Amino acid sequence: MPVKPEQYEILKRPLITEKSSEQMADGVYAFEVDPNSNKLQIAQAVRDVFNVKVAKVRTIRIKGRKNRRNRYGYYNESDWKKALVTLEKGESIELT
């Protein structure tokens, strides 16, 4: 099935951190996703974009932090959503 442009809007970027790199060995990949997307949409987007079989999707809403702008005021970072996608055995994604 060809990849639709909407699927690139659902998957914003892969999250490559020390913890997520360790989880990649077990077949769990982390992505920043659109806050309005659901688990079925995320699974379909990963399936079509990377051509892999998805076993499970877990989602987490992360609240934006309060940061210091200057000595007089603060600003808030935006809230965002993270998805942990577990692939079937033997499947992997090449993230470069």
- Strands 54-62 and 11-14, bridge-based pairing: unpaired
Q: Check pLDDT > 80 for residue 96.
A: no
**pLDDT, mean over the chain:** 93
Strand order in the sheet with 54-62: 11-14, 28-33, 80-87, 54-62
Would you say domain 5-87 falls under CATH 2.60.120.960? no
Q: Is the pTM of this model over 0.85?
A: yes
Of residues 6 and 11, more confidently modeled: 11
Q: Are 85 and 57 in contact (CB under 8 A)?
A: yes
Q: What is the pLDDT of residues 58-79, one digit of tens each?
A: 999 999 999 988 888 898 999 9
Q: Check pLDDT > 70 for residue 28.
A: yes
Q: Check pLDDT > 70 for residue 36.
A: yes
